[in-house]
Structure 1
Amino acid sequence: MRTLAVPPATIKSKPKKGEGQWALGYREPLNKNEENKKNDDGLNVRRRIIDIYSKAGFDSIDPADLRGRFRWFGLYTQRKPGIDGGKTAVLEDEELDDRYFMMRVRIDGGQLSGEQLRVISDIAVKYARGTADITDRQNIQYHWIAIEDVPAIWEALESVGLSTMEACGDTPRVIIGCPVAGIAADEVIDATPQIAEVHERYIGSAEFSNLPRKFKSAFSGCTAHCTVHEINDVAFVGVVNEAGEVGYQAFVGGGLSTNPMFAKSLGVFVRPEQAHEVWKGIISIFRDYGYRRLRHRARIKFLMNDWGPEKFRDVLEKEYLGFVLPDGPEPAAPLPRRDHVGIHPQQDGDFYVGFAPRVGRVNGNLLGVIGDLAERYGSGRVRTTVEQKMIILDVPEGNTEPLAAALAEHDLQVHPSTFRRQTMACTGIEFCKLAIVETKQRAMDLMDELEKRLPDFDQPLTINVNGCPNACARIQVADIGLKGQLVVDENGDQVEGFQIHLGGQVGATFGKKVRGLKTTSDGLTDYVERVVRAFDAQREEGETFAAWVQRADDADLK
């Protein structure tokens, strides 16, 4: 019998581990994070927090829980005060860790009742030194949380139907939605039932509590496309098919960070009753085929980039759904401003009133005031947005301007300047262990100064301020994106500053980086004023900042 000779190289080589994809048989952990998740499901840490850590204190916490599984319940250690940005990438975690936590409360769809807002406010005052920030994914973040207080906070949140479960970690995180779903006069579809169904069926399930990385979802039928579906891991966007039926187009593989990509349309039509099943199929593909070997390649965007939407759809239909989805239309273009700031009509004849806190920074007492005003002038219902803003619903027309005036007394603007309306900032070095520079106060100071220097400027203009390269504040899709880093000033000293991205536009282009274009923090306002004045002087009728950047001379951008 003839046998085939085996080349020596084949005999000596070891089996390839590939990308650590479960579906291809690679189940052994290929890094510390994967090993930690295999050792114990992150959801199991809740019991240890309640029974052990909250009673024995910070020093009793297992490091694998502290810097790993705690995230499954929305807890990160915050940055120890006094550590400058130059040491961010130098010090070990235990040197950067404070003994207090950031806690993230997930608010799916951004929907809050008056009672829920009251509880969030009370927790901030009682347990978080008053802190409370609105994130750009509709959550609320606390700081200064002590481990001893976590069970009491959970009990308070859960008493009104809220939680911190899977607010962080390698999990399906908060499901964002249009904050005026079900009431906007011009919406395509109300996605509230689909968000609720996915949450009820899958959030907190061990089926999806060990993903390769975080998984960000959006469901919306908003004509403004306020959920920025183009940069979510998965997004369902309201459309109307040729038969006049409403449903969703599905987008997969969006994300920013250090390797930004826009989501790709699957080209399908998803009926509302199918949405939870299609969502399950997509997240299952991520769980099974996602790249687990390297953390920086573990997001679903890398899988989509390698497969393409045709293969992704084919695998989804054949391996996970068991049926073929019909082709579907693409959504209409977004509005120039995707937020819901201002006074707008509801379907029922009342109005909703959107207002702008300063880059999402509120506090416990202020949230209490907002709750009081929502009850006095509306129904008590409040919403958070992905632009770090808030909305009060169900306001009779006669109450709209009195409400706007009452909000303004607390520096909450219903008719804000462009700079107040469209400036966003991440947490920054004040609390974040990854940050290099200050962001929140820097952004607030920038807004205030630009309002003084450019009082008549009224064009749409997004300014996004980020404390590190990870793009929590979406710098690559801002008109002016500011990425925090250390720069050298005119005296040769290393100081806080920013690399500048210009002309980013969600779903269209990522911001342009002009060679050598950086600024110190102290020089930031002068730079922004200069480039905004150049745009205002040169723009053509209806031209956006992003379009102007593409044709402007580099000298006008510096």
Structure 2
Amino acid sequence: MTVTETRTAAPARPATRPPRAGRSNGQWKVDGPTPLNANEEWKQEEGGLAVRERIETIYAKQGFDSIPAQDLTGRFRWWGLYTQRKPGIDGGRTAQLSDDELSDRYFMLRVRTDGQALSPEALRVLGEISTEFARGSADISDRQNLQYHWIEIEDVPEIWRRLESVGLETTTACGDTPRGFLGSPVAGIAADEIIDPTPVILEIKRRWIGDPELANLPRKFKTAITGHPSLDVVHEINDVSLVGVVHPELGPGYDLWVGGGLSTAPRLAERIGVFVREEEAAEVWHGVIEIFRDYGFRRLRNKARLKFLLAEWGPEKFRHILETEYLGHPLPDGPPPAPATGPGDHVGIHRQKDGRYYVGAAPTVGRVGGPVLSGLADLIEEVGAGRVRLTAHQKLVVLDVPESGLDRLVEGLEDLGLTARPSPFRRTTMACTGIEYCKLAIVDTKDTAASAITELERRLADVVADGSLDTPIQLNVNGCPNSCARIQTADIGLKGQIVTVDGPDGPVQQPGFQVHLGGGLATLERDEAGLGRTVRGLKVTAAELPDYVERVVRTFLARRSAGDTFAEWALSAEDGDLL
């Protein structure tokens, strides 16, 4: 579908049915498409895809003040644009101010990669955009997106032109749409891969990204597709996931998972129980998203994610509706994925099936920037590598490295601040955008996490060196309750909030965190995903964070049973051991 087509078409509206008795949930196929709130009204008046033409022909020429409110705070998201937070507004005022009062005249711009391999040319374009238009900013998100800040509306058309010249886009990177896909970073090259998801991702993108029929969903819709046995796309927390499995009779294909999501009402996805052949995987994805569009709850936005529909229906009904109303045929039963075979971040040096190598490297909490991206392009060309992919863990993976170039690559990555041999905490710590740019945030995250990593590397060097700390401990830092950094599925998850502490002159409010413990997704150390626990009264200030993590890690090492992971210990430990 071309860009011109996406600008002119109207949003889809299924045939109206009589509303059911009782209060409507705004399900189009049950209650009819009559909007039940202001957000649904403007989406039906004109979809978000249409705003691109106005950005290019009006707003970029006339400037920020020419943008009407509904486009600025609504439709812009369909093209990956959010206004960023004004500097200097402290976290205690986040909930007190309106969006307009919190918003600056600059934008965050989100670029989707969808598991795509980035060539040196693409990396240079990404680096140049950062340097020329974004004050050097660029962050790898935990959804394989690249996010810029300080973007001015006048520069957006030129940024789009440059991105599209290397096959990248911001189409439906935000908004009530099919957002960027998570794809295996080692698709097509890993020696132990079950199935290469690249053809499925490309087919879905070609047929449906930018399609106005899918551009008015109840809320956002997140996709993950992998064929690697490390389960490297966090499939348990996406709206829809296709996970590589081998059917005993039908061979390699996919297991379908539906209804995952975190935020303030976390819920893990469930297996639907079907086996999806490669040739029908795109159609199955399409059926799932159509179910969400037609049956998803639209009356209340805080109940509008697919996870709430699945909670009401259950997997058996969901399968029945998918097969009978959307596919028109049954799907075979299928096996679940095997336990993960290794870490899904792919950090380190690994041999490819063609004899070359892929090398996973860790920036600090996803932060890169223009010089890093441009330097990475030069480096991979120098060593004879060809491509780079981003990961679901704020990391990157260099593909197709010849053995003769490994030493130089690892050395060059270190020079760029990208280490292929990170300390345990540099490897496993993630952080969302935080108060630096995000209007929802209450506390700083990136700098707080980076400082904590440095401190923990120093303080816990002894237990790393002697091998006592023999299990990874995931530390996820989030600036608000919305869990962009997946706090409920971390060993130690930190939810930003204002914490009241005793000061010399009475109670004092400081930036801090509520602590979640013992969560996790399926990994080599953990067969099944699970949400973490909270301990009543367990909060730490940002300044106390390294103290707390050091204390709880040392307590874990002293009191765990043999073979326990941190999560296993934290879920069963006495409250006092976790304080």
Give 1:275's match in structure 2, choosing from 269, 272, 281. Answer: 281
Task: Name 2:510's counterpart in structure 1.
Answer: 495
Question: CA separation in 1, counterparts of 2:470 and 2:73?
Answer: 44
CA contact (8 A) 1:234 1:253 kept: yes
CA deviations 1:219-275 (Å, max 9, x no partner) are 101111110100000000000011261000100000000000010101101000000
Question: CA separation in 1, counterparts of 2:144 and 2:75?
Answer: 23
Q: Name the amino acid aligned to 1:253.
A: G
Where in structure 1 are there 5+ consecutive unaligned residues?
1-12
Structure-2 change in CA distance of 1:356 and 1:219 (3 Å): same
Task: Name 1:6's counterpart in structure 2.
Answer: none
Question: CA separation in 2, counterparts of 1:115 and 1:460?
Answer: 35
Task: Name 2:318's counterpart in structure 1.
Answer: 312
Q: Secondary structure at the match of 1:543?
A: coil
CA contact (8 A) 1:417 1:458 kept: no
Q: Is the counterpart of residue 54 in structure 1 residue 60 in structure 2?
A: yes
Q: How does 1:133-282 map to 2 (within 5 A)?
A: 133-243=139-249, 245-282=251-288
Deviation of 1:312 (Å): 0.1
Aligned residues: 546
Q: Name the amino acid aligned to 1:543.
A: D
Question: CA separation in 1, counterparts of 2:488 and 2:276?
Answer: 30
Task: Name 1:20's counterpart in structure 2.
Answer: 26
Question: CA separation in 2, counterparts of 1:548 and 1:184?
Answer: 33
Q: Is the counterpart of residue 534 in structure 1 residue 534 in structure 2?
A: no
Identity %: 60
Provide TM-score, normalisation by structure 1.
0.96
Task: Name 2:483's counterpart in structure 1.
Answer: 471
Question: CA separation in 1, counterparts of 2:158 and 2:427?
Answer: 36
Q: Secondary structure at the match of 2:276?
A: coil
Q: Secondary structure at the match of 1:555?
A: helix
Q: Name the amino acid aligned to 1:181.
A: A
Q: Name the amino acid aligned to 1:163.
A: E
Q: Name the amino acid aligned to 2:551.
A: R
CA contact (8 A) 2:51 2:75 kept: yes
Q: Secondary structure at the match of 1:102?
A: strand
Q: Name the amino acid aligned to 1:515.
A: R
Question: CA separation in 2, counterparts of 1:335 and 1:424?
Answer: 22
CA contact (8 A) 1:378 1:392 kept: no
Task: Name 2:571's counterpart in structure 1.
Answer: 550
Q: How does 1:325-404 map to 2 (within 5 A)?
A: 325-335=331-341, 337-404=343-410
Task: Name 1:296's counterpart in structure 2.
Answer: 302
Task: Name 2:293's counterpart in structure 1.
Answer: 287
Question: CA separation in 1, counterparts of 2:203 and 2:399?
Answer: 23
Q: Secondary structure at the match of 1:162?
A: coil
Where in structure 2 are there 5+ consecutive unaligned residues?
1-18, 522-527
CA deviations 1:180-216 (Å, max 9, x no partner) are 1000111111000000000000000011000000000
Structure-2 change in CA distance of 1:184 and 1:14 (3 Å): closer
CA contact (8 A) 2:20 2:31 kept: no
Question: CA separation in 1, counterparts of 2:21 and 2:572?
Answer: 52
Deviation of 1:109 (Å): 1.0
Over aligned residue pairs, what C-alpha RMSD do you find?
1.3
Structure-2 change in CA distance of 1:495 and 1:417 (3 Å): same
CA contact (8 A) 1:110 1:139 kept: no
Question: CA separation in 1, counterparts of 2:328 and 2:139?
Answer: 43
Task: Name 2:327's counterpart in structure 1.
Answer: 321
Question: CA separation in 2, counterparts of 1:490 and 1:334?
Answer: 45
Give 2:538's match in structure 1, choosing from 513, 517, 533. Answer: 517
CA contact (8 A) 2:141 2:147 kept: yes
Q: Is the counterpart of residue 508 in structure 1 residue 520 in structure 2?
A: no
Question: CA separation in 2, counterparts of 1:96 and 1:458?
Answer: 44
Q: How does 1:93-132 map to 2 (within 5 A)?
A: 93-132=99-138
Question: CA separation in 2, counterparts of 1:83 and 1:335?
Answer: 45
Question: CA separation in 2, counterparts of 1:111 and 1:294?
Answer: 38
Question: Which deviates more from structure 2 when the two are superposed, residues 60-69 or residues 400-409?
Answer: 400-409
Question: CA separation in 2, counterparts of 1:16 and 1:195?
Answer: 40
Question: CA separation in 1, counterparts of 2:162 and 2:485?
Answer: 29
Deviation of 1:110 (Å): 4.4
CA deviations 1:37-83 (Å, max 9, x no partner) are 01101000000100111111101101000000000000000000000
Task: Name 1:480's counterpart in structure 2.
Answer: 492
Question: CA separation in 2, counterparts of 1:336 and 1:554?
Answer: 31
CA contact (8 A) 2:79 2:171 kept: yes
CA deviations 1:158-179 (Å, max 9, x no partner) are 1111111000000001111101
Provide TM-score, normalisation by structure 2.
0.93
Question: CA separation in 2, counterparts of 1:81 and 1:150?
Answer: 22
Task: Name 2:471's counterpart in structure 1.
Answer: 459
Question: CA separation in 2, counterparts of 1:84 and 1:347?
Answer: 51
CA contact (8 A) 1:107 1:138 kept: yes
Q: Name the amino acid aligned to 1:490.
A: D
